Amino acid sequence: MLAFVDEQEILDFRAHCAATGKSPQDVAGVACEWEGEGVLHFHQKRPLHGYGKESPCLFTDDCAALEDPVCIEKYGYIVVVAEKTVAAFAQYPKDSAVRKECVWQNIDLQYIPSRENLYSRSQGILEVGALAAKRVAIVGLGSFGSQIAIELAKAGIGEFSLLDFDRVELHNLMRHTCGINDLGRLKTDALYDAILGKNPYAKVDKFPVDINQNLKLLDQEVSRADLVICATDNNKSRFNLNEAVVRNRKVCLYGRANTRAAGGDVFRYVPDGPCYNCLLGNAWYDAESEEITNVESARHNGQIAAYVSAEDAAAKVQVGLSADIAPICNMMVKIALVELSRGIDSGISSLEHELVYDYYMWANRRENRFENWSAMPGAGAKPTILRWYGCRIQKLEGCAQCGKSGFAELDEGDDVEEMLKKISSC
């Protein structure tokens, strides 16, 4: 039998005993057993979403509990926490011959690592202690946001702010980190569990709201964050978020996939640098080829115009493979970790010399806008397939979002004026 106990809970239990000086200090906890798999997890508090078969388990610092007939009646398991050691006991089955001699059998115990030890393996590459104090706001928890959230949790980011009003739906599942069991749940709730499943010490704040209707909240969450991930699927929310990150001077990473995830791109905003609106006028950026994954939300956001028939709208939904968006998510995670580790000496800091660009493009296949991209052999410095291509973006003169307030260079529509003149003379 494999049994696990949470090291942090044991440390807290001992600290509590020491602080109160009370002995014995008993806690009625729970044992979660993956039935038929011979695996047990002991917890002092019932996990938020219980799993496996649950049965009562006593945590005590007094091994006299093993002799106590009330405990034998009440608990299937006892965890004895001594000053230096922890031992776990399970009752022999009632029909077991051994039970006449002895009710409890000692079982081997392993630790679920404590806060301090959870990320010890990343130490050296990442400065884990520093990352635990960092807060990341993730706007949009679809296939991009969910993957990024979990990767950042695995890297040891300590605080999250999750913003998405959507629920886990069948059409999300293939590329989403959530599974069938999460169908119908708010994405913020499902991701909350998933993040804590990787890092039980993470602090996760959930905001199941439409940011376009809650700009004050958006501003508040941006201001509290050390870094912002923009993983929404429409420009309306990107512009609202862009305005907030510019105002609050926060690094923000924007990522998206092109149609059928033939490729995708990542844009990094840093204070005083070009912003998302500056990017839009750039020749590299192709706003029209954005991947559309859901008709309903695309209609709501105006990506699919209301006059487009149901049939044509359905044809516009061309979703790529999860494997095709993974490289884009992964790039966003890397840039995020480098940005969050700035000024801290760690193994990942060397990437600061590589990740100097504002805009990164990736092509999965030679298709659509990537049709004419060179093949990898012989591409030289040119953009090619399956290799990141970085470029710098010019700040847009008179940008309405990152320029000085009141000094935007507005598009005065000289082109349409010409058309109007022509048609008026018809």
Partner 1 sequence: MFEGLFSLLSSHSDDDDDDECAGPPPARIQQEIAVLQKKNVPEHAYHFFLDEKKPYVVFAARTKKRVYTLRIELSGFPNNVPKVFVTKMLKDKYGEKLDSADGSMHVLESEHGWTRICHYGDASWTPNVSLYKIYVKCCLWLNMYELHLETGNDIEYYLNHQK
User: The dihedral of CA 17, 21, 23, 27: what is its sign?
Assistant: negative
* Angle ∠(20,25,30) on CA atoms, nearest 5: 130
Distance CA(372)–CA(391), nearest Å, equals 18
CB 62: neighbour CB atoms within 10 A? Answer: 14
Q: How far is the CB of 240 from Zn ion (least distance, A)?
A: 14
Residues 370-409 interacting with Zn ion (rule: CB under 5 A): 399, 401-402
b/e per residue 197-218 (b: at least 16 CB within 10 A): ebbbebebebbeeebbebeeeb
b/e per residue 275-313 (b: at least 16 CB within 10 A): bbbbbbebeebeeebbbbbbbebbbebebbeeebeeeeb
Residues 362-401 interacting with partner 1 (rule: CB under 8 A): 396, 398-401
Instruction: Establish if 233 lies at the interface with partner 1 (CB under 8 A).
Output: no
Q: Are strands 227-230 and 109-112 parallel, antiparallel or unpaired?
A: unpaired
Distance CA(262)–CA(264), nearest Å, equals 7
Taking CB under 8 A as the binding criterion, the range among 67-75, 129-137, 297-305, 354-362 that sits at the site for partner 1 is: 297-305
Instruction: Establish if 277 lies at the interface with Zn ion (CB under 5 A).
Output: yes
Q: Which does 381 bind (CB under 5 to 8 A by kind): Zn ion, partner 1, none?
A: none
Instruction: Establish if 310 lies at the interface with partner 1 (CB under 8 A).
Output: no
Number of residues that bind partner 1 (CB under 8 A): 46
**In terms of CB distance, is 272 or 417 closer to partner 1?**
417
Instruction: Establish if 307 lies at the interface with partner 1 (CB under 8 A).
Output: yes
Among 60, 147, 199, 277, binds partner 1 (CB under 8 A): 277
Q: Is the separation of the CB atoms in 2 and 38 below 8 Å?
A: yes
Q: How far is the CB of 274 from Zn ion (least distance, A)?
A: 6
Instruction: Establish if 94 lies at the interface with partner 1 (CB under 8 A).
Output: no
- 39 - beta bridge partners? 2, 34
Please, is 415 exposed, middle or buried when counting C-beta atoms within 10 Å of its C-beta (0-12, 13-18, 19+)?
exposed
Distance CA(26)–CA(23), nearest Å, equals 8
Instruction: Establish if 278 lies at the interface with Zn ion (CB under 5 A).
Output: yes
Q: Is the separation of the CB atoms in 68 and 61 below 8 Å?
A: no
Among 113, 208, 281, 390, binds partner 1 (CB under 8 A): 281
**In terms of CB distance, is 32 or 261 closer to partner 1?**
261
Instruction: Establish if 305 lies at the interface with partner 1 (CB under 8 A).
Output: yes
Q: Which does 287 bind (CB under 5 to 8 A by kind): partner 1, Zn ion, none?
A: partner 1
Instruction: Establish if 297 lies at the interface with partner 1 (CB under 8 A).
Output: no
Q: Which does 307 bind (CB under 5 to 8 A by kind): Zn ion, partner 1, none?
A: partner 1
Helix (H, G, I), strand (E, B) or coil at 412: coil
Instruction: Establish if 275 lies at the interface with Zn ion (CB under 5 A).
Output: yes
Taking CB under 8 A as the binding criterion, the range among 82-90, 138-146, 246-254, 305-313 that sits at the site for partner 1 is: 305-313
Instruction: Establish if 52 lies at the interface with partner 1 (CB under 8 A).
Output: no
Among 84, 100, 353, 422, binds partner 1 (CB under 8 A): 422
Q: Are strands 389-391 and 104-107 parallel, antiparallel or unpaired?
A: unpaired
Residues 172-231 interacting with partner 1 (rule: CB under 8 A): 210, 212-215
If residue 199 lies in a helix (H) or strand (E), which one and from where to where? none
Distance CA(164)–CA(395), nearest Å, equals 30
Q: How far is the CB of 259 from partner 1 (least distance, A)?
A: 12
Taking CB under 8 A as the binding criterion, the range among 199-207, 294-302, 318-326, 343-351 that sits at the site for partner 1 is: 294-302
Binding site for partner 1 (CB under 8 A): 210, 212-215, 234-236, 239-240, 243, 277, 280-281, 287-288, 290, 300-303, 305-308, 396, 398-401, 405-406, 408-413, 416-417, 419-420, 422-424, 426
Binding site for Zn ion (CB under 5 A): 275, 277-278, 399, 401-402
